[in-house]
Amino acid sequence: MFKQFTFTLNNTNKIIAPSSIGIGSVYFKMEMRSTAENYNETLKNNLIKLFEQGKGVIHIDCAANYNVYPEFKDALKVNTERQLKKREELWVTDKFDTFLGTFPDPITHVNFVIKELNLNYLDLMLIHYPVVPAKNISLSIAEIWAQMETLKKEGKVKNIGVSNFSVKDLEKLKETAVIKPVVNQIEWNPYFMNQTLGIYDYCQENNILIEAYSPLYPITLSSSGEDVSEEGKNFNNYIDLLAFKYEITNSEVLLRYTIQMNVLPVTTSSNIERVLSNHNFNNDRPDLRLADEEVKKITELGKEHAQVSKYEKFVKYFESLLDN
Ligand SMILES: NC(=O)c1ccc[n+]([C@@H]2O[C@H](COP(=O)([O-])OP(=O)(O)OC[C@H]3O[C@@H](n4cnc5c(N)ncnc54)[C@H](OP(=O)(O)O)[C@@H]3O)[C@@H](O)[C@H]2O)c1
């Protein structure tokens, strides 16, 4: 029987892991706008194939500033026409863009998206960044959160959370929030376990589920040939060893590691076979667990490696927008 990993959120709702199709990163439009010329056929087709072939619930990670609503909309249309996945078999996360101000406020955003994508509700809505440099947004983070709470009460959004928040940002939010965020989506992998100081421990202690973007970065860094460090070699040799021992792929080792660290991986691929294998990874071996000492060793070897952030350059880019 097909068995998917689920985490229980702090509001008792369940969420499926991993998110196998993040529709940012490889599908992201750098030019920050969607046009007929940059329409991404691969994304649309990969979503449709996942609806056709992925068992259970499909967990999709979207955001306003990925500029992929047209492709997502077309894939969902095919899904409805061909009766592939029921609404409850889709988990749709979206993010309110405080940086570029794709929408002026969360209520306008969610009303647009659920109508445009014909979804009725969103499963999870996040504040994408903890600051509001966008000139067309006149709300503070506290006011944005209050709107997210309204959307949750109205049932237009089932769960609300944040992304790229630090401990300080979460503590500040607590001063005015009525509803606690269920997740904090941050960059997280064995080479980068604290996007900001103490964030991993804080979220674990406060029952805020960490969603990891770039959970496979150590593997992609090594396969790109960019990482020639001794620590990188040691890390990869150990992942190879575990992959061999359990007869699974290196990616699966890292997905399982992430989940055993109580973190939900948000991954993606331009290659549909990889998307499907990430989505289905738990299917054949639902009872497989890495041993506790293996999880510990991956963490230790990761810590020996210099901290590397895949998205640091984006953060710098966004910060440069703040200066202007
Ligand atoms: N909240 C935020 O601020 C934020 C920021 C960044 C990203 N995100 C979200 O997180 C998602 C994932 O981020 P990411 O792309 O950095 O994650 P990632 O999983 O670390 O990296 C994805 C890369 O891993 C490779 N890959 C995937 N599955 C593989 C497999 N089974 N074997 C070998 N290689 C594999 C893919 O390469 P190929 O394409 O060549 O297969 C892909 O380019 C994004 O799409 C986005 O939705 C959120």
Residue 282: per-residue pLDDT: 86
Q: What are phi and psi of 321, to 5 degrees?
A: -65, -35
Question: How many helices and strands, by DSSP H and E, does the chain display?
Answer: 12, 10
C-alpha span between 321 and 272 (Å, rounded):
34
Q: If you take atom 12 of ligand 1, which residue's CA is the nearest one?
A: 267
Q: 294 near 242, Cβ under 8 Å?
A: yes
Specify the pLDDT at position 27: 79
- The sign one gets for the Cα dihedral 275, 13, 298, 247 is negative
* pLDDT category of residue 8 using cuts at 50, 70 and 90: very high
Q: How do residues 208-260 score in pLDDT, each as one tens digit? A: 999 999 999 999 999 998 898 999 999 999 999 999 999 999 999 999 999 99
pLDDT per residue over 69-83, tens digit each?
Answer: 999 999 999 999 999
The pLDDT value recorded for residue 1 is: 66
Q: Is the pLDDT of residue 324 over 70?
A: no
Domain that holds residue 216: 5-323
- Residue 322 has a pLDDT of 65
CB-based contacts of 142, cutoff 8 Å, min separation 6: 172, 173, 175, 176, 177
Number of domains in the chain: 1
Q: Does pLDDT of 321 surpass 70?
A: no
Residues 109, 128, 279, 305: which is the catalytic one?
128
pLDDT tens-digit readout, 121-160: 999 999 999 999 999 999 999 999 999 999 999 999 999 9
**Residue 66 falls in the annotated catalytic set:** yes
State pLDDT tens for residues 24-60.
888 776 656 667 778 999 999 999 999 999 999 999 9
Question: What's residue 286's pLDDT?
Answer: 87
Pocket residues: Cβ below 6 A from ligand 1: 22-26, 61, 128, 163-164, 185, 213-217, 219-220, 249, 251, 266-271, 274, 277-278, 310-311
Active site residue 217: no
pLDDT, tens digit, 9 for 90 and up, residues 265-313: 999 999 999 999 999 988 878 899 999 999 999 999 999 999 999 888 7
Could you give the CA distance from residue 173 to residue 169 in angstroms, rounded to a whole number?
Answer: 6
The predicted structure's pLDDT at residue 311 = 86
User: Which residue has a Cα nearest atom 27 of ligand 1?
Assistant: 269
pLDDT of residue 193 exceeding 70, the answer is: yes
Please report, for the domain that includes residue 145, its CATH number.
3.20.20.100
Task: Compute the average pLDDT of residues 105-118.
Answer: 98
Give percent of the chain above pLDDT 70: 96
CB atoms within 10 A of CB 51: 20
217 CA distance to ligand 1 middle (Å): 8
DSSP labels for 120-175?
SSEEEEEES-S----TT----HHHHHHHHHHHHHHTSEEEEEEES--HHHHHHHHH
Tell me the pLDDT band of 206, cut-offs 50, 70 and 90.
very high
* Predicted pLDDT of residue 32: 64
pLDDT for 64 equals 94
Annotated catalytic residue within 66, 191, 213, 257: 66
What is the predicted pLDDT for the residue at 323? 63
Are 281 and 56 in contact, with CB atoms under 8 Å apart? Answer: no
